[in-house]
Amino acid sequence: MSIADLATTSDGVESDQQTVRVAVVGAGFMGQVHAEAARRAGARVVAAMASRPDGAAAAARAVGADAGYPDLAALLGDAEIDVLHVCTPNASHAPVAAAALSAGVHVVCEKPLATASAEAAALVAAAGDHVASVPFVYRFHPMVRELRARLSAGEAGVLASVTGGYLQDWLSRPSDDDWRVDAALGGPSRAFADIGSHWCDLFEFVTGDRITRLSARTAVVHERARRNGTPTEDLAAVHFTTAAGIIGALVVSQVAAGRKNRLHLELSGTDASFGFDQEDPERLWVGRREGGETLLRDPGTLHPSAARYVRLPAGHAQGYQDCFDAFVADTYRAVRGEAVPDGLPTFADGLRAVRITDAVLASAAADGAWTAVPT
DSSP states of 73-126 as a string?
A: HHHHHH---SEEEE-S-GGGHHHHHHHHHHTT-EEEEPSSS-SSHHHHHHHHHH
- The answer on pLDDT for 298 being more than 60 is yes
Tell me what the pLDDT averaged over the chain comes to.
94
Mean pLDDT of the 296-307 span: 96
Closest CA to 70 of 48, 102, 39: 48
* Number of Cβ within a 10 Å radius of residue 219: 14
State the architecture of 6-137 in CATH terms. 3-Layer(aba) Sandwich (3.40)
- What is the reported pTM? 0.94
Q: CB burial class (10 A; 0-12, 13-18, 19+) of residue 10?
A: exposed
Give me the torsion for CA of 175, 180, 184, 185, rounded to 10°. 130
Identify the architecture of domain 139-314+347-372 in CATH.
2-Layer Sandwich (3.30)
Domain with CATH 3.30.360.10 in the chain: 139-314+347-372
Residues 118-152: tens digit of each pLDDT: 999 999 999 999 999 999 999 999 999 999 999 99
pLDDT at position 26 over 60: yes
Q: Provide CATH 3.40.50.720 ranges for the chain.
A: 6-137
